[in-house]
Amino acid sequence: MVNTTLCYIQRGEDYLMLHRVKKKNDLNQDKWIGVGGKFLDKESPEDCLLREVEEETGLTLTSWRYRGVVTFVSDRWPTEYMHLFTADSWTGTLKDCDEGVLEWLPRDQLLKIPHWEGDEIFLSLLWRDAPFFSLKVCYQGDKLVRAVLNGQVIKEG
């Protein structure tokens, strides 16, 4: 299993999104996601968040919130525990990312671009300002086959 962070950086109604098109053997190939990555040894979720955002974007976060944990289960990839954050303040200048193309997109576009189906569930929770949550999403290939929110099945089949 793998621990990762995923952060949705917000500027007004826009979100900084990463179009994953540059990395070989990328489970997120061609999808648009927030920014983040894998924990290093001895890192906390916040340590990983700050390091990964700086590495991928050049930005140093100054205001963020830990929003939930998403357990990503796949028939192709190891189980992943994504520690989900939002951020709304930073310093620095956006730089090119070696994993894909960074772009500010309006919130109403996020569900119209290629993404994981389960992202719709947690984005809705973020947009509703839901309290801290645990979401488990199970995939066969790219198809979401099960979702469990705070221990309750919300999608099956």
pLDDT tens digits for range 49-97:
999 999 999 999 999 999 999 999 999 989 999 999 999 999 999 999 9
Structure tokens at 86: 């939002």
CA atoms within 13 A on the CB side of 119: 18
Q: What is the pLDDT of residue 106?
A: 97
CB 54 within 8 A of CB 48: no
Q: Which domain holds residue 123?
A: 2-156
The Cα–Cα gap between 9 and 18 comes to 11
User: Residue 151 burial (CB < 10 Å; 0-12/13-18/19+)?
Assistant: exposed
Q: What is the number of structural domains in the chain?
A: 1
Task: Tell me the average pLDDT across 25-40.
Answer: 83
Give pLDDT tens digits for 89-136: 999 999 999 889 999 999 999 999 989 999 999 999 999 999 999 999
Task: Tell me the average pLDDT across 36-49.
Answer: 97
Judged against a pLDDT cut of 80, whether residue 24 lies above it is answered with no
Judged against a pLDDT cut of 90, whether residue 30 lies above it is answered with no
Residue 142: give its domain's CATH number: 3.90.79.10
